[in-house]
Amino acid sequence: MKSYAAVDLGASSGRVMVGRVTPDSLELAEAHRFPNRPVRVPEGLRWDVLGLYAGVLEGLRAAGQVDSVGIDSWAVDYGLLDADGALLGNPVHYRDARTEGVAEKVWGRVPAAELYAATGLQYAPFNTLYQLTAARESRQLAFARRLLLVPDLLSYWLTGEQGTELTNASTTQLIDPRTRDWSYDLAARLDIDLGLFPPLRRPGDAAGMLRAAVLEETGLTGPVPVTAVASHDTASAVAAVPATGERFAYICTGTWSLAGLELDAPVLTEDSRAANFTNELGLDGTVRYLRNIMGLWLLQECVRAWGDPELGGLLRDAAAVPALRSVVDAGDAAFLAPGRMPERIAEACRASGQPVPGTPAEVTRCILDSLALAHRRAVEDAQRLAGHPVDVVHIVGGGTRNALLCQLTADACGLPVVAGPTEAAALGNVLVQAGAHGLVGDRHAMRGLLARTQPLTRYEPQGGTGRWRDAQARLATR
């Protein structure tokens, strides 16, 4: 048996999990969980990356002796280092307003269609490419000698070694999904200095050893290697989808819903661009063909506005509210920024001539119906655009704890939903480490092990998809 520490940093919480693996068994236990609360300072919204690093160290101490450590986190964001290797300021949060209006400037130099053809990445205002363009005139960027994506930054602090992990690099919009290497020509046309990024590493590559000071602080006995995993949390979560065949769609639910397919090659058509599907990179040469949906962020922000009522009670009350009274477009980037979420949802309903949800239960129901509807649309569009039909939808991540959302998704898609595992990103992280150490085989073997060992819940579709089609039509005509 081997033990692996998986550091998994989501937008709402960070955790250090310990996975114990043999060729026939897989157990995951939580060593430490800590909130991830962005901080608004006069310059804008920032990640408290030192607080997160402190949480990682505390988690490693709680994890105890392990055979290796892997790190994954949310995508696109980065820290800049000066010539001495010191961090220049707090990493900017992807929900910060600095990228407003930047895309249009970029498209003036490289049209959106060419950008998509080169990178296969959906338009999202926070793609690293747009963030770097927004920062172009900043003194921080002028002083920077290195750019490390968030998991790579933490890995650097743990080991002293630098690298850029490929699955997360694929969210920068600077990678060509066909060559799985940097898009040199595009970067040159946009004056983006790829020399800021350290060399690419791939999931399973060695990423250094815990530094002596880290061993001392965590009480671990060295040497303890750090292994590059699929360091984009969504790539780790997709690796842990317990599918037993090829005909499946997945929805990674947490702060975001990431809904789509695993493919062998990118889909770079104009239709795909118009539908805003992304081609991010996954394990074993795969492409994660998916759409970003606002996800449980909508609910998180409402719950925050309501003074943090207990989630279980809220979901029970929402289950009693009549279905599909009002829906909003849960893919709309208008919901990206924090603040005033119940009001913004009410305004969207009013503007589209639908009943305005009033109570927290009604707003929650509107959010869950809207998410299920967006899940349906993404699963349908992905199958059509990629020519890859599916028989089942796998839901992984924190949203698997929301039985109403899982059932509504099954109903909306008209397909069975298999929910679980909840800590998919951490499991994918553990399994890539286990794979690197020869304990499990490729992603199919990983999925077989997950399907045999993890508790999963099946939801059968109910009630026909007609009313979901009607709700979609209501949204489409507005």
Q: How far is the CB of 248 from ligand ADP (least distance, A)?
A: 19
Residue 76, contacted partner among ligand ADP, ligand LRH, none, CB below 5-8 A by kind: ligand LRH
Annotation says 233 is catalytic: yes
The single residue among 62, 268, 311, 337 that binds ligand ADP, judged by CB under 6 A, is 311
202 binds ligand ADP (CB under 6 A): no
428 binds ligand ADP (CB under 6 A): no
319 binds ligand ADP (CB under 6 A): no
414 binds ligand ADP (CB under 6 A): no
Q: Which is nearer to ligand ADP, 8 or 381 (CB)?
A: 8
Q: Which is nearer to ligand LRH, 123 or 306 (CB)?
A: 123
3-state secondary structure the chain: CEEEEEEEECCCEEEEEEEEEECCEEEEEEEEEEECCCEEECCEEECCHHHHHHHHHHHHHHHCCCCEEEEEECCCCEEEECCCCCECCCCECCCCHHHCCHHHHHHHHCCHHHHHHHHCCCCCCCCHHHHHHHCCCCHHHHHCCEEEEHHHHHHHHHHCCCCEEHHHHCCCCCEECCCCEECHHHHHHCCCCHHHCCCEECCCCEEEECCHHHHHHHCCCCCCEEECCCCEHHHHHHHCCCCCCCCEEEEEECCCEEEEEEECCCCCCHHHHHCCCEEEECHHHCEEEEEEECCCHHHHHHHHHCCCCCHHHHHHHHHCCCCCCCCCCCCCHHHCCCCCHHHHHHHHHHHCCCCCCCCHHHHHHHHHHHHHHHHHHHHHHHHHHHCCCCCEEEEECHHHHCHHHHHHHHHHHCCCEEECCCCHHHHHHHHHHHHHCCCCCCHHHHHHHHHHHCCCEEECCCCCCHHHHHHHHHHHCC
Q: Which is nearer to ligand LRH, 75 or 408 (CB)?
A: 75
The span of 78-86, 135-143, 399-407, 459-467 binding ligand ADP (CB under 6 A) equals: 399-407
The single residue among 7, 49, 52, 296 that binds ligand ADP, judged by CB under 6 A, is 296
Q: How far is the CB of 166 from ligand LRH (least distance, A)?
A: 15
Q: How far is the CB of 239 from ligand LRH (least distance, A)?
A: 13
The single residue among 254, 357, 421, 428 that binds ligand ADP, judged by CB under 6 A, is 254
Tell me which of 72, 77, 176, 233 is the catalytic residue. Answer: 233
Residues in touch with ligand LRH (CB under 6 A): 10-11, 74-76, 94, 232-234, 255-256, 258, 292
The span of 6-14, 360-368, 370-378, 462-470 binding ligand ADP (CB under 6 A) equals: 6-14
The span of 145-153, 194-202, 285-293, 394-402 binding ligand ADP (CB under 6 A) equals: 394-402
Residues annotated as part of the active site: 233
